[in-house]
């Protein structure tokens, strides 16, 4: 058996232990420190978890050096070209591709659960027109739990399938309703004859006034975008879902917390920020080099949004696919978005600049996705909502995997305390 010897010398008191070494199916090597504190009385400090595996997982594999992303072993490029979001959701959650019958049954169930309870429609009325749709989305997902009390017990595996199906189907309806609310248009109910992504387009863009023809190429590109976002192993929002779920919070509550985590501009909120950044660059004279100088000035606090990734250090395979899809969508729609042109010049300039080269910063999934969403007519504040919709099957799969693992314990990191040692309480009249 592989092992690693760890010795700790504290003021001459030397203790050591053999740490088991775990090797994953793709040769990732990990030291298992589960018994470290118990045996040596020390903990490890790893803020931001750059060197910490929080779980073992058989869902998604990433090789950040080679730019590889696979769901259940299947490369993202193949899934993007040949699959649909519904099929990928099945794959992530159930661990394998469905056969014909399973896929049609799964699609049917997703179709049958697309309505939200009519009472929920009134919830939307309580929000001001300025409400960010991510605020509405997370609150609505948590609120769903009140309509399905049987799902409150996270350990009840019998209701998992129906709960996951409801979530996948209804998140799309909630996303569309929150958009309609923000632009003051009537909600559009889903149509059962439409596929998952076609229904999303219908609920977002159709109005009761006239028919809204749905373009197959646009459905295809929405499928691609959702597939590319569907899982990304233990990122910030997924780790949040797992952490919240480890306390046995129900699936709705765990996913609502993941949505909140995704919202941040360093994570899924970056797609919205990229568009704001590009628009700002154009407004200030469209000088990409001037903007990069600002980014490189540490005092400015300005980041090149849509660039950099904790894991990918050569390229993000999702960004490559999205960039090529952006070109196709814009030419298909006959749109000439000046922001795409600025984005390409910005990327080119950054990739030649030693600041970005030395730090191995490349465009990530968010750099070009906003350009496509814009071309398709989505409002900028909906971009992160679309990311959440895509990431949902991954969050569900990770929550399920964690709950099925008998070794799961409540997630509870430790800390190194650096505050005051014991102090007496000072009565208020004796304080300075
Ligand atoms: N612009 C400018 N400098 C950057 C950027 C950037 N986008 N990203 C990283 N750096 C710099 C850091 O300042 C740091 O420089 P230093 O070594 O001189 O201190 C170095 O590159 C390493 O970066 P870290 O911040 O340590 O990288 P980390 O892995 O912690 O952060 C993150 C990754 C959050 C994605 C970061 O690259 C970033 O903020 N990018 C912009 C926001 C973004 O696009 N987020 C979406 C990520 S993909 C996703 O979540 C869907």
CA dist 179 and 201 (Å) reads 12
pLDDT of residue 334: 86
CA dist 188 and 162 (Å) reads 24
Angle among Cα 290, 294, 297 to the nearest 5 degrees reads 140
Q: Is pLDDT at 335 greater than 90 in this prediction?
A: no
**Catalytic: 202?**
no
First to last CA, the chain: 62
pLDDT of residue 330: 87
**Catalytic: 309?**
yes
Catalytic residue among 366, 405, 424, 429: 366
User: Which pTM was predicted?
Assistant: 0.96
Contacts 24+ apart (CB under 8 A), 372-375: 372/221, 372/225, 372/322, 372/325, 372/326, 372/329, 373/225, 373/271, 374/275, 374/337, 374/339, 375/326, 375/329, 375/330, 375/333, 375/335, 375/337
What integer is the mean pLDDT of 128-152? 95
pLDDT grade, residue 1 (50/70/90)?
confident
Catalytic residue among 229, 231, 232, 309: 309
Nearest to 305 by CA among 276, 262, 263, 344: 276
Residue 2 DSSP label: -
| CA of residue 136 relative to chain centroid, distance | 17
Ligand 1 neighbours (beta carbon < 6 A): 266-268, 270, 295, 303-310, 359, 361, 364-366
What integer is the mean pLDDT of 183-187? 92
Mean per-residue pLDDT over the chain, rounded: 96
The three-state secondary structure class of 404 is helix
Q: Distance from the CA of 294 to the center of ligand 1, in angstroms? A: 15
- Give 31's strand partners: 21
Phi/psi zone of residue 248: left (φ > 0), alpha (ψ -120 to 50 degrees), beta?
left
Whether 147 and 141 have beta carbons less than 8 Å apart is answered as: no
Residue 63 phi, psi dihedral angles, 5° rounding: -115, 105
What integer is the mean pLDDT of 307-331? 92
Q: Distance from the CA of 367 to the center of ligand 1, in angstroms? A: 13
Give the model confidence (pLDDT) of 219-244 as tens digits.
999 999 999 999 999 999 999 999 99
Q: Distance from the CA of 361 to the center of ligand 1, in angstroms? A: 8
The three-state secondary structure class of 21 is strand
pLDDT of residue 130: 87
Give the model confidence (pLDDT) of 36-60 as tens digits.
999 999 999 999 999 999 999 999 9
Of all protein residues, the one whose alpha carbon is nearest to atom 16 of ligand 1 is 359
Residue owning tokens 């049917």: 108
pLDDT of residue 328: 87
pLDDT of residue 9: 94
CA dist 171 and 165 (Å) reads 10
CA dist 177 and 187 (Å) reads 6
The three-state secondary structure class of 43 is coil
**What are 100's two structure tokens?**
């014909």
**What are 201's two structure tokens?**
């387009």
Whether 220 and 377 have beta carbons less than 8 Å apart is answered as: no
Nearest to 345 by CA among 270, 287, 271: 287
pLDDT grade, residue 326 (50/70/90)?
confident
Q: Is pLDDT at 336 greater than 90 in this prediction?
A: no
Of all protein residues, the one whose alpha carbon is nearest to atom 40 of ligand 1 is 308
Number of H helices, E strands in the chain: 18, 6
Give the model confidence (pLDDT) of 83-124 as tens digits.
999 999 999 999 999 999 999 999 999 999 999 999 999 999
Of all protein residues, the one whose alpha carbon is nearest to atom 31 of ligand 1 is 310
pLDDT of residue 158: 94
Q: Distance from the CA of 378 to the center of ligand 1, in angstroms? A: 26
Tally the C-alpha atoms within 13 A of residue 11's C-alpha that lie toward its C-beta: 0
Of all protein residues, the one whose alpha carbon is nearest to atom 4 of ligand 1 is 303
Q: In ligand 1, which atom is closest to the CA atom of 310? A: 29
What is the arrangement of strands in the sheet containing 29-31, beginning at the earlier edge strand? 3-10, 13-23, 29-31
pLDDT grade, residue 297 (50/70/90)?
very high
């Amino acid at each position: 058996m592989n092992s690693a010897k760890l010795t700790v010398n504290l003021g001459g008191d030397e203790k050591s232990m053999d740490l088991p070494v775990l090797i994953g199916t793709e040769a990732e090597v990990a030291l298992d420190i589960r018994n470290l504190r118990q045996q040596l009385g020390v903990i490890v400090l790893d803020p931001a978890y750059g060197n910490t595996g929080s779980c073992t997982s058989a869902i998604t594999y990433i090789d950040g050096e080679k730019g590889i992303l696979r769901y259940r072993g299947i490369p993202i490029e193949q899934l993007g070209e040949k699959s649909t979001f519904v099929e990928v959701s099945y794959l992530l959650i159930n661990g394998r591709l469905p056969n014909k019958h399973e896929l049609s049954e799964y699609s049917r169930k997703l179709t049958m659960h697309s309505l939200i309870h009519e009472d929920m429609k009134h919830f939307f009325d309580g929000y001001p027109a300025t409400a960010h749709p991510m605020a509405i989305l997370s609150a609505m997902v948590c609120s769903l739990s009140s309509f399905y009390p049987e799902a409150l017990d996270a350990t009840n595996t019998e209701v998992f399938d129906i709960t996951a199906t409801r979530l996948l189907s209804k998140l799309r309806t909630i996303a569309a309703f929150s958009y309609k609310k923000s632009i003051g248009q009537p909600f559009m109910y889903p149509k059962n004859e439409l596929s998952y992504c076609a229904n999303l387009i219908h609920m977002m863009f159709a109005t009761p006034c006239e028919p809204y023809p749905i373009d197959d190429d646009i459905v295809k590109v929405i499928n691609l975008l959702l597939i590319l976002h569907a899982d990304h192993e233990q990122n910030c929002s997924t780790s949040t879902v797992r952490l919240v779920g480890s306390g046995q919070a129900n699936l709705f509550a765990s996913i609502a917390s993941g949505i909140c985590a995704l919202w941040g501009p360093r994570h899924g909120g970056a797609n919205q920020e990229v568009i704001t950044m590009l628009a700002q660059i154009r407004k200030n004279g469209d000088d990409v080099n001037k903007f990069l100088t600002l980014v490189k000035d540490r005092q400015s606090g300005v980041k090149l949004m849509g660039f950099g990734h904790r894991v990918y250090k050569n390229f993000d395979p999702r960004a490559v696919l999205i960039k090529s899809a952006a070109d196709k969508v814009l030419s298909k729609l006959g749109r000439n978005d000046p922001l795409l042109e600025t984005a390409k010049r910005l990327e080119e300039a950054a990739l030649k600049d030693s600041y970005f080269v030395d730090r191995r910063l490349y465009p990530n999934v968010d750099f070009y996705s906003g350009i496509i969403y814009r071309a398709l007519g989505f409002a900028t504040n909906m971009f992160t909502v679309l990311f959440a919709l895509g990431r949902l099957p991954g969050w569900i799969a990770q929550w399920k995997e964690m709950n099925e693992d008998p070794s799961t314990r409540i997630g509870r990191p430790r800390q190194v305390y650096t505050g005051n040692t014991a102090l007496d309480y000072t009565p208020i009249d004796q304080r300075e």
